[in-house]
Amino acid sequence: MTARSISFDRIADRYDETRGGMARGRRIAEAIDPHLGEETGVLEVGIGTGAVAAALAERGRTVVGVDLSAEMLERAVARVGPRVVRGDAHALPFPTDRLGAAYVVWVLHLVADPGAVMAECARVLRPGGRLVVTSRRPRPDPDTSPDITPIVAPLEAVRDARLRPDDADSVQAWASAAGLGLVTRAERREQFEQSPLDAAQVIEQRAFSYLWDIGEPMWSEVVMPVVNELRALPDPKRPRSFRQRQDMHVFEK
Give 145-192 pLDDT, tens digit per residue. 689 999 999 999 999 888 999 999 999 999 999 999 999 999 888 888
Give the tens place of pLDDT for each residue, 59-71.
Answer: 999 999 999 999 9
Residue 134, pLDDT > 60, answer yes
pLDDT level of residue 131 (50, 70, 90 thresholds): very high
**Architecture label for domain 9-141+164-193+245-252:** 3-Layer(aba) Sandwich (3.40)
Over residues 96-103, the mean pLDDT reads 97
pLDDT level of residue 39 (50, 70, 90 thresholds): confident
Over residues 132-145, the mean pLDDT reads 83
* Per-residue pLDDT at 145: 64
Q: What is the DSSP string of the chain?
A: ----PPP-GGGTTTHHHHHTHHHHHHHHHHHHGGGSTT-SEEEEES-TTSHHHHHHHHTT-EEEEEES-HHHHHHHHHHH-S-EEE--TTS-SS-TT-EEEEEEES-TTTSS-HHHHHHHHHHHEEEEEEEEEEEEEEEE-TT---THHHHHTHHHHHHHHHS----HHHHHHHHHHTTPEEEEEEEEEEEEEE-HHHHHHHHHTT-SGGGTT--HHHIIIIIHHHHHHHHHSSSTTSPEEEEEEEEEEEEE-
Domain boundaries, the chain: 9-141+164-193+245-252
Average pLDDT, the chain: 93
Residue 44, pLDDT > 90, answer yes
* Per-residue pLDDT at 1: 33
